[in-house]
Amino acid sequence: MIIDGKKISEEILEKIKLKVLSIKKNRNIVPGLAVIMVGDDPASRIYVNNKKKACSKVGVYSREYFLPGGISEEDLLKLISELNRDQNIHGILVQLPLPSHINENAVIEAICPEKDVDCFHPFNMGKLLTGNANILPCTPAGIIAALEHEKIDISSKHCVVVGRSNIVGKPISLLLLQKNATVTICHSKTLNLEDVCRRADILICAVGKANFISKEMVKNNAVVIDVGINRLPNGKICGDVDFDNVKFIASYITPVPGGVGPLTVSMLINNVLECFGKLVEKI
């Protein structure tokens, strides 16, 4: 069973669209998202454009800032400070990675936690750790949305997460724990990785290595979630999982593209609404 992330995302966006229409009608205000991109990375520009399209589709106001790669950290922080005070902006996203001369942690921490739609700020990560999060990191939230849409039971299942990044690996592990899964986190120092992966009921891979997960690493009828996005020498996009071979073994699998990617975008837009709601409550 191939999990159609694009279809699930469209269903989520349609629900968000109705909420935005209600907000416009009852409050005469529009939720707003600001996206900042530093430099001219082609992949990042695609992501930013996809976010803009999603905002337009549901009626969320979006503002994009395409900044030169040589911008100083001071000037970038100044812009974030201005957006923190902007009452028309309810969510702020800085596209990562940033140029090496800019401290990513300083930039993330400069974003007001109440406008941190990526859920990268230490305050929001702390709330996630304690199970009290108001918003969830976009890609992990998209993974949970996919599993729940397909009515895949998480409770008591052995979930193996390959990758320990702050963006995907660590937060998805926390969310799975909160759903009563037994979670194993694997990384570059894990011994007998193939054996560990083969024990997974639900296998999630986010390492950024093309076709890293082979069919020998997947047990029969496992659920396989591929978070990777890799470009091959021939220009084609593929994930971290050898999809063509693993799909015959897995009970459910996400494709790349068209799997987790669209869900990440829809969860981002949902976070804009969540942030909007909390900020409006304060007014």
Which residues are part of the catalytic machinery? 51, 95, 118
- The tokens describing 92, both together, are 């702020």
User: What is the strand order of the sheet 91-94 is part of?
Assistant: 61-67, 32-38, 91-94
CA angle (136, 138, 143) in 5-degree steps: 95
Ordered alpha helix ranges (H), 103-227: 104-110, 122-129, 138-149, 169-178, 193-198
Q: What is the largest CA-CA distance in the chain?
A: 57
d(CA 245, CA 223): 14
Cα end-to-end distance, the chain, whole Å:
47
d(CA 34, CA 39): 16
- The residue among 221, 222, 259 whose CA lies nearest residue 240 is 259
